Structure 1
Amino acid sequence: MAVQPNQQFSMDPPTQQSFVRFFKSLPEKPSSTVRFFNRSDYYTLHGSDALFAAQEVFKTTSVCKMIGAPPHKTEGVILNKGHFETFIRDLLLVKQYRIEVYVNQGSAKNQDWILEYKGSPGNLLQFEEILFGNNEVAVGTSVIAVKLGSEGKTKIVGVSCVDVIGTTISVCEFTTDESFSDLEALVVTLAPKECLLIQGEGSYEFKTIKQIMERSNVMITLRKKSDFSTDSLMQDLNTLVKFKKGQQQNAQSLPETNLNVAMAATASIIKYLELTSDEGNINQFTLQQLEQSRYVRLDTAAIRALNVEPRNDVPSGPSGNFNSSILGLLDKCRTSQGHRLIAQWVRQPLRDLSLIKERLDIVEALMKDNELRSALNEDHLRRVPDLQQLAKKLSRKKANLQDCYKIYLCVAHLPTLLEQLSAATGVAAFTAMLIEPLKELIEDMDKFQQMVEQTIDLEAAEKGDFLVRPDFDDELKELNVNMEAAEKELGGQLGKVADDLSLEAGKTLKLESNQQFGYYFRVTLKEEKILRNKKNYTVLDSNKSGVRFRNSKLTDINEDYLAARDKYTVQQKSVVDEIIGIAAGYCSPIKSIGSVVACLDVLTAFATAAANAQKAYVRPEMLPSETGELKLEQARHPCLELQEGVDYIANDIDFKRDESTFYIITGPNMGGKSTYIRSVGVVALMAHIGSFVPCDKATISLLDCILARVGADDSQIKGLSTFMTEMVETAAILKAATCNSLVIIDELGRGTSTYEGCGIAWSIAEHLAKDVKAYCLFATHFHEITKLAEDVPTVKNKHVTALVGDNKLTLLYKVKPGICDQSFGIHVARMANFPEEVIEFAKRKQSELEDCQGAVFEGSENPEKKRKIIKEGEDLIAQFANKCKTLDQSLSDAELKGKIATFKEEILSHKNPYIKALLSSP
């Protein structure tokens, strides 16, 4: 249970009523915005925000107190600084809420509250110190803006995406259709936290874009139309963009600025994030054009169906749910930049065969070299701080000596890392992607390393004191002498206290220091009883690491030491500012080192996940698209096989263009159809990001899309029924799919009448099989659709197996050729413990409703043979009916009966078992 707040509202009743009146006069806000009130020593929330915060932070609303008096009263809850910072991180980075923080400019009694600062998932500028100051947060925080334009009758979508950590501005423009499917694919690729749209647009296009953002869990922020004006854009870009050497120092010369609609979107983000008002952004950004053709297209439904990311929006990494998603499964990264990059890679599967093979080469080398993989995981990568975030702090002049020291230690260790990488492998991809870039970057950082060694007291830094070297001026030297003298005295105290308490100095009794307390003694919790009833000693605090305490002499010496250190800190300020100013000039190589290490971290994570799987993953053989082959032997679903108590049944897939590209899969509910088709999609996705795959063998031609329609979730919040959701997602598939696409469809056509649903499902299946010729896995309960295999040679019927005996259903989860023509619904109902009378009634109703297709005859136990017999029988019945229609109506009744009897004998002479069963049925 969370620690309860111990502060009290320090307001007398009149002040409370005055505040409540002010609070209730504030403009109405959405529930996704949370308002905090900064009261110096603590923060408060009120009304619905108080109830929400109490539940989220303290897990109970009992901590809420009513303040004010009728009719001016409301709930209130207090958060200390620690609770405030933790709650802020959760709201902005996990729940994706907006934040407002108010401060009182007047006295406590005067309610002169103003909005001090605010933030949102895509705009964290004013909260960066809280979010990233002492924490490495492994999530991306990009924001996009979308602007519609036109060329004649053609609609154009302009998109801009700003990543403030990666310092990139990415833009693109494209024509679109009424479903904006290309925009949805782009949103899936970029995974933004927030989207800016023009306020007041109520058109169909606006509503469609809004629905896309909501489906993708992207917060929408409406902005004035004037914010999308490009009047001052070139001036802003000249301030923000870092031009390359030899490049014209003018944004108008950049080809990206010709994308007029995208530039309008860029202007709105620059204004929203106030990028030009922060000197740390000056000449730090790269302007680049987004190339969607580089990546395999994914839709929102595919991300959801393949469990690419955790469903509960928990960030990946240490706090994530490891086995519930592909990201959680693969994310064994050791660095923050690695966590961010792997989350980007799983949404950006590559379509470049060379780049995929490069990644696979490195993963294979790391798979084979257990020693190198272990060294990277347990030693080298753990030494790398969040270099991208540190570079940003340097550029904004918000860094300190500790940050410079972190970078120094990291760069100092890189040669050791390079030496082990070079010695362990001769793989060309290692050299091109990692070794050569790192060598150049280490050289670029040589002067930075020298500066740190010449300016920072490295001995003090090792002990946690980040000071400038004392030989910079005489005052620093004198203060350093005083500090050393104090430290010598402190060391003497250790021996005296050890003798007094009968403890061993340096072992059971330790002298330690930190920024909060300065110097103190520490003993373990086991030795705590020694301090009881000892009036000479003052306990500072107790925690699992032990008891921290001082005696009066140590307190006096510590105060002298801290006073000298504080003077030292003040005296060195000008030197520190100069050091940070020089260090800021190294932002570019520091960020680049972060990027290279992130790649190494992700590829090591891929190798670790592959090697540590219950059954090791294998390297997929990647082929050009035109090869037209997707063959998996014993494919497994990597998430399901890790679940406790699951003995996973692996299955094959064998797609070959013009031979077999479309599987219709039938079988009972819970029989493994959905798992089978999802496992194929997951394997294909993993292969395209450069990961090994959970198969015995995999041969995969490059795909251009992985598209899905799986599940039947209502989207009532978004105003879409189950059936409408199906139709929207399926329409997007029909427009986007090509012969190089992988399409996964599960239970299409539910939510409308049986016949209509079957008709729609059939027409979609036939279109994908005959016209699009995509690789497709089509799981269905409409057994009629299996007849499509008779008309389209590339369609193959598959079914998941089950055994029925003693009124029990045993699911075998094995996919075999042929169709499953038996319905197991009643058996599944029995497994779900339906009342026996309900099951018996269902059986009777089934018998009444089943048509002649349910007839039992010789050969009906084999689905393929049964279908052939029925088709022959139906043809004979049709012949009989046609002959009867052609009879001369002038014949007498006796003559007509005779003719019909003759026709009947002719039909019966064929001895068709189906006709025989029909004639013998009551």
Structure 2
Amino acid sequence: MVTYTPMIQQYLKIKAEYKDCFLFFRLGDFYEMFFNDALMASKELEITLTSRDGGGEERIPMCGVPYHSAENYIKTLVERGYKIAICEQVEDPKSAKGVVKREVVQLITPGTIMEGTMLDDKENNYLASINESSDGSFTVVYNDLSTGETSLANVKDGWQSVVSELFNRPIREIVIPGDLDERYQTELKERLEVTLSIQEETKIPEGFDSLTEELNESKELMEAYGRMLNYLQKTQRRSLDHLKPVQIIQLKDYMTLDMYSKRNLELSETLLRKGKQGSLLWVLDQTVTAMGGRLLKKWLERPLMNLAGIEKRLEIVEGFMEQFFERESIREALQSVYDLERLAGRVSFGNVNARDLIQLKQSLGKIPEIKEILSQFENNGVHGLGRDIDDLKELYLLLEESIHEDAPLTLKEGGLIKDGYDGRLDDFRYASKNGKKWITELEQKEKQETKIRSLKIGYNRVFGYYIEVTKANLHLLPEGKYERKQTLTNAERFITPELKEKEALILDAEEKSVDLEYQLFLEIREKVKKFIPELQMLAEKVSEIDVLQSFATVSESNDYVRPVFNNSRQVQIEQGRHPVVEKVMKDGSFVPNRVSMHDETDILLITGPNMSGKSTYMRQLALTAIMAQIGCFVPCESANLPVFDQIFTRIGAADDLVSGQSTFMVEMLEAKHAITQATKDSLILLDEIGRGTSTYDGMALAQAIIEHLHEHVHAKTLFSTHYHELTSLADDLDKLKNIHVRAEEYEGKVVFLHQIQEGAADESYGIHVAKLAELPAQLIDRATEILRQLEQKQPDGKTENNQSDETEDDLQMSFFGSAETQKTGKPVKKKNSQLHDELMKIDFMDITPMDAMNILYSLQKKAKES
């Protein structure tokens, strides 16, 4: 560092403390980056890379962004998982004796964003921290800095449960101890795609004790929360007064939805596009406030298990549905309510502007109207929502009296404070706006009093304001009133105490007015800060109103009904529908179905062709249960359900590229998770388990899983399969029931009726599905011939004509005979054991039509060569 210039040495010294951050180093009107930061930033931000002389042997790479437009560049870097250290000049360059003093004033990380343009209005932005206890349990802490919300959960079921818990929320960054297992760190980065940050200090910082009352001095919980608080203090370096007391999440009070279930059921985003549209959240979100949208997502992530809590929500939803016009009035009023949670956060954080406070005032102005509308509902639950709302009239009046309606975004240009709020400011404004008028009036007044018609008031930069009188009229001036200031050839210039007093106001009015407005604004902000707890409480109540009216709105528009709950583990849904598929199919062609599982039925074994709707049928049961337990009406004619404690799903097939696991391994891991974690109060959905391996292996595994669930787990289970042999299990397992999805042949084509009926399916219609996919006709005909010959075989391995094994082999090889053989259909008595072995390995029930075409082509080619 000795060879570098003093400024570069200063940069390197600060950068050494923030090695994992881009250092935005303030130089004049730019944030500059040097060395490796400049190389990386120029690529990530697509900005020009330059260089400068830094005193060393080589020029230093450099790039920069204007400070007034830095927010967009910071947003880009944060969205890509980077951290930014903002280094500002903390000394006036004019008074600096050398290099201007600079300090890092804030760290901006993916989990600590406060700027509104970087945040999704209806999405929380969580920072999480993990603490591992000596007993092997983990404590997970969540914080949304923008709203002040902090919660904590103790996970005792191992590391995979921690990953599932973290997957359940929109987390951008996780704070960990430096000694956390490397395998865990790798999994967090790769599976959850989050930024990891190290924080070792776990002692609760001074001044935050009031936030920890619910932790009951538990050492493990205090350390976990302390890690989070220390990281927030280290990165933000400003007021955190808006942080709410930490709340403990009692996981046993909520339905467990592991990462597989949340993904497979597409609760908040779709599997394919990773977007909201097409998810259950997309269907249910009729909220009109940002905070309501966030609360809805939280409810969806954690469905209730407390029946009283569920019924309370359902009762309010029913009340909203009963009075359409009042509900629409509520929706209209809520549209004028801004994001109170994040406004409170910005007040505390010190980055609130005058327009934010105007939004806050306008929001508070709507609260009395909302209370009045709620009082008009006959439903006691809805009526009670408005009973305890504090409209914060005192805060409203403060903002109404002080902040100008058309205040600018910046705080140091004036125009923030209303006239009449502060006498000093009014004087400054009067002097600034009416200075010339006042001077003119004073001049007329002095002329009248002195009878000097040539008297005039002038101004210059050296002497300021003055009264000028010609020497011929000096004798007319009253004695003692005027103080001589300057003598000219033919005139004298004077000043009076009154003019001297006003001169200071006039000359400094504009500057002092702006400075005073800024100081008054800071004072108002401090006054508003005292209302933060009440604002946060108000935000919670408004959010709840918004979510419940949203449930009522979507339930009425989609013809949902109120579910009924039972304690006898019965599932009885009449004319049930899939809420998302139904909405996508706007033509009303969705076919509703019944789900019936009495206390004596634990497993429904579902058979039927591909594309018939088995997966949709399974998913719609799970989504109906989730909707019911978050307090929403459900898509059916009637629903009688138990309260499920967990939902497990194995639907769809996809390789886990992150962990390098095959489709079959993923299938087995998800099945194992369900089998080992489920209770009799759980719901399990297993779709075609075993299809990822050979036919006999798959069938054996599927049967063993069904038997284990039947004998040991007793959870309500929907199990779909193409292994028709499994339908015979209904003869031996008394709590298993066969159902199938109807399909009919019509003029050589299959028609899917999408109707569930009792009993097993008689065909799989695989070749018909291949026809629908418009595979070549020659291929379809050949597959039909192969299927016919395969179906001639009996389970004991003999053909219908009881031919010998050798003849059977020859028949098998006839599939690959000469062109003449293929035309006549007569077998060629030619043996080829290699081709025979390859054919016998093919699982025709578990390959796609295109796979079949490729296999047939390959085998035919080998047959011709042999």
TM-score by length of 2: 0.72
The C-alpha deviation readout for 1:695-741, integer Å capped at 9, x for no partner, is 12111221111111111111112222212211222221112211111
Distance 1:787 1:75 in 2: 74
In structure 1, the residue matched to 2:561 is: 618
From 299, 303, 308, the counterpart of 1:349: 303
Amino acid at match of 2:374: L
Q: Map 1:878-889 to 2 at 5 A.
A: none
* Post-superposition offset of 1:297: 0.7
In structure 2, the residue matched to 1:436 is: 387
Q: Give yes or no for the alignment of 1:160 onto 2:145.
A: no
* Post-superposition offset of 1:568: 2.8
Amino acid at match of 1:472: D
Contact kept? 2:555, 2:634, Cα under 8 Å: yes
Secondary structure of the residue aligned to 1:698 is: strand
Q: Give yes or no for the alignment of 1:723 onto 2:670.
A: no
In structure 1, the residue matched to 2:863 is: none
Distance 1:140 1:839 in 2: 52
Distance 1:403 1:484 in 2: 31
Q: Map 1:588-627 to 2 at 5 A.
A: 588-613=533-558, 616-621=559-564, 623-624=565-566, 626-627=567-568
In structure 2, the residue matched to 1:223 is: 198
The alpha-carbon distance between structure 1 residues 68 and 170, as it changes in their structure 2 partners (threshold 3 A), is: closer
Amino acid at match of 1:437: D
Secondary structure of the residue aligned to 2:744 is: strand
The C-alpha deviation readout for 1:168-194, integer Å capped at 9, x for no partner, is 4433434334xx354345335544333
The alpha-carbon distance between structure 1 residues 197 and 720, as it changes in their structure 2 partners (threshold 3 A), is: farther
Contact kept? 2:48, 2:63, Cα under 8 Å: yes
* Post-superposition offset of 1:46: 6.6
In structure 2, the residue matched to 1:58 is: none
Distance 1:658 1:143 in 2: 43
In structure 1, the residue matched to 2:864 is: none
Identity %: 26
Distance 2:145 2:785 in 1: 66
The C-alpha deviation readout for 1:599-656, integer Å capped at 9, x for no partner, is 111112222222233xx211212x24x2212211111112112225654433334344
Contact kept? 1:66, 1:76, Cα under 8 Å: yes
Distance 1:267 1:313 in 2: 39
Distance 1:157 1:119 in 2: 27
Q: Give yes or no for the alignment of 1:393 onto 2:346.
A: yes
Q: Map 1:753-768 to 2 at 5 A.
A: 753-768=694-709
Amino acid at match of 1:814: Q
In structure 2, the residue matched to 1:98 is: 82
From 514, 521, 524, the counterpart of 1:576: 521
From 349, 366, 370, the counterpart of 1:413: 366
* Post-superposition offset of 1:658: 3.3
Q: Give yes or no for the alignment of 1:472 onto 2:453.
A: no
TM-score by length of 1: 0.68
In structure 2, the residue matched to 1:195 is: 174
Distance 1:419 1:827 in 2: 62
* Post-superposition offset of 1:360: 1.3
Question: Which is further off, 394-403 or 695-704?
Answer: 394-403
Q: Map 1:50-61 to 2 at 5 A.
A: 53=45
Distance 2:293 2:272 in 1: 15
Secondary structure of the residue aligned to 2:137 is: strand
The alpha-carbon distance between structure 1 residues 780 and 382, as it changes in their structure 2 partners (threshold 3 A), is: same
Q: Map 1:175-574 to 2 at 5 A.
A: 175-177=156-158, 180-199=159-178, 201-202=180-181, 207=183, 211=187, 214-215=190-191, 217=192, 219-223=194-198, 227=200, 229-230=201-202, 232-233=203-204, 236=205, 238-242=206-210, 254=213, 256=215, 258-274=217-233, 278-282=237-241, 284-311=243-270, 321=276, 323-377=277-331, 379-423=332-376, 425-432=377-384, 434-438=385-389, 441-442=390-391, 445-456=392-403, 465-470=415-420, 472-480=422-430, 483=433, 567-574=512-519
Amino acid at match of 1:192: I
Amino acid at match of 2:515: V
Distance 2:758 2:22 in 1: 56
The alpha-carbon distance between structure 1 residues 41 and 566, as it changes in their structure 2 partners (threshold 3 A), is: same
Contact kept? 1:666, 1:798, Cα under 8 Å: yes
* Post-superposition offset of 1:760: 1.6
Contact kept? 2:145, 2:243, Cα under 8 Å: no
Contact kept? 1:102, 1:115, Cα under 8 Å: yes
* Post-superposition offset of 1:752: 2.1
* Post-superposition offset of 1:814: 1.5
Q: Give yes or no for the alignment of 1:777 onto 2:777.
A: no
Secondary structure of the residue aligned to 2:426 is: helix
Distance 1:130 1:220 in 2: 21
In structure 1, the residue matched to 2:629 is: 688
Rg larger for: 2
Alignment: residue pair count: 703
The alpha-carbon distance between structure 1 residues 262 and 761, as it changes in their structure 2 partners (threshold 3 A), is: farther
Q: Map 1:863-878 to 2 at 5 A.
A: none
Amino acid at match of 2:532: C
Contact kept? 2:168, 2:262, Cα under 8 Å: no
Distance 1:570 1:314 in 2: 51
The C-alpha deviation readout for 1:420-471, integer Å capped at 9, x for no partner, is 1101x12222244x21221xx22xx233234334444569899x95314335
In structure 1, the residue matched to 2:108 is: 119
Secondary structure of the residue aligned to 1:195 is: strand
Distance 2:782 2:50 in 1: 61
* Post-superposition offset of 1:387: 0.9
Distance 1:242 1:28 in 2: 31
Q: Give yes or no for the alignment of 1:171 onto 2:171.
A: no
The alpha-carbon distance between structure 1 residues 779 and 853, as it changes in their structure 2 partners (threshold 3 A), is: farther
The alpha-carbon distance between structure 1 residues 176 and 467, as it changes in their structure 2 partners (threshold 3 A), is: same
Distance 2:272 2:744 in 1: 39
The C-alpha deviation readout for 1:238-276, integer Å capped at 9, x for no partner, is 512436xxxxxxx5xx46254333333323222322269
From 119, 123, 132, the counterpart of 1:148: 132
* Post-superposition offset of 1:473: 2.3
Amino acid at match of 1:428: N
Q: Give yes or no for the alignment of 1:743 onto 2:684.
A: yes
Secondary structure of the residue aligned to 1:654 is: strand
Contact kept? 1:402, 1:466, Cα under 8 Å: no
Distance 1:598 1:686 in 2: 18
Amino acid at match of 2:561: V
Distance 2:599 2:585 in 1: 41
Secondary structure of the residue aligned to 2:175 is: strand
Contact kept? 2:370, 2:386, Cα under 8 Å: no
From 587, 607, 613, the counterpart of 2:532: 587
Distance 2:45 2:273 in 1: 18
Question: Which is further off, 564-573 or 737-746?
Answer: 564-573
* Post-superposition offset of 1:758: 1.7
Contact kept? 2:242, 2:533, Cα under 8 Å: no
The alpha-carbon distance between structure 1 residues 306 and 568, as it changes in their structure 2 partners (threshold 3 A), is: same
* Post-superposition offset of 1:657: 4.3
Amino acid at match of 2:689: L
